[in-house]
A and B are shown apart, each in its own frame.
Chain A
């Protein structure tokens, strides 16, 4: 667990991050990777999709090409203000301020639960993953993109200090503890030298 364990710190961090986010993000998670991950889902035009930690709306933009029933949630007003600029406050995306670990949605609401580039900031990822499972309809898909644990020791030290990074083994543990039975991980990477993303596709089990 890193320095963002404290939610107040996370807020401050995001306030500054939102100013550069769309510029640094493409090095780690670009449009091509996003669209590849979206293609692993079978999103129909009537599907209700939740984008947890939608931030500035980078993934939201890709998801919007498949359905107009998108619900964006983020804790940071600074990140969200960028998303409002892109989509409007009252466009096709319904925005909410909220906490990933305490989702304000009823059980069995969504056809797809998506979250990219957010899990690394969740102080209690298992709690948030349990919430993803709760709000997803049984049989629906939860897709989570996070940073894969780096091989290089310098990056490892940085990773351990700053935020959550996890490998497949750790992802197995988290998703199992959160009550998922069926899931797989896929590694995505923008280029040979860039940090890898670990994408987990999980099925919401029957209750």
Chain B
């Protein structure tokens, strides 16, 4: 994901802003990292450039 996506993303649960912590990036994109809600603290992973903003009760625990 590109960093400016943060302007329009929010926590799916309480709609508050997300804070980005990037662990891997190239010139254009954040490849892996975490988006954390500034209000409730729920963390959403960025996996291979795709933000996983599924609420925790819908995340798949095991790869299919």
Contact = CB atoms under 8 A, between A and B. Distances in A.
Instruction: Report, as a range, how many residues of chain B touch the other chain.
Output: 20 to 34
B53 A97 contact: yes
A104 B49 contact: no
A90 B49 contact: yes
A46 to B, nearest CB: 15
Given A11-B60, A104-B12, A109-B8, A90 B54 contact: no
Contacts, number: 58
A105 B9 contact: yes
A106 interface: yes
B54 A105 contact: no
Given A89-B49, A89-B50, 10 more contacts: A75-B58, A90-B28, A90-B29, A94-B2, A96-B53, A97-B50, A97-B51, A98-B54, A104-B12, A104-B53
Interface string A64-82: 0000000000010110100
B52 interface: yes
A114 interface: no
Q: Is the interface of A mostly helix, strand, loop or mixed?
A: mixed
Contacts of A180: none
Contact of B53 (A11, A78, A98, A106): A98
Contact of B9 (A15, A75, A89, A106): A106
A102 interface: yes
Contacts of B7: 106
Across chains A and B, which 8 residue pairs bring their CB atoms closest together, nearest first? A104-B53, A102-B12, A104-B12, A98-B53, A97-B52, A109-B8, A106-B10, A97-B54
A104 B9 contact: yes
Interface in B11-63: 11-13, 15, 28-29, 44, 48-55, 57-58, 60
A95 B29 CA distance: 13
A27 B42 CA distance: 41
Interface residues of A, number: 22
A162 interface: no
A131 B15 CA distance: 11
Nearest to B13: A102
A106 B10 CA distance: 6
15 contacts: A7-B58, A11-B58, A77-B64, A89-B49, A90-B28, A94-B2, A94-B5, A97-B54, A99-B54, A104-B9, A104-B44, A105-B8, A105-B9, A106-B7, A106-B10
Nearest to A102: B12
Contacts of B55: 99, 102
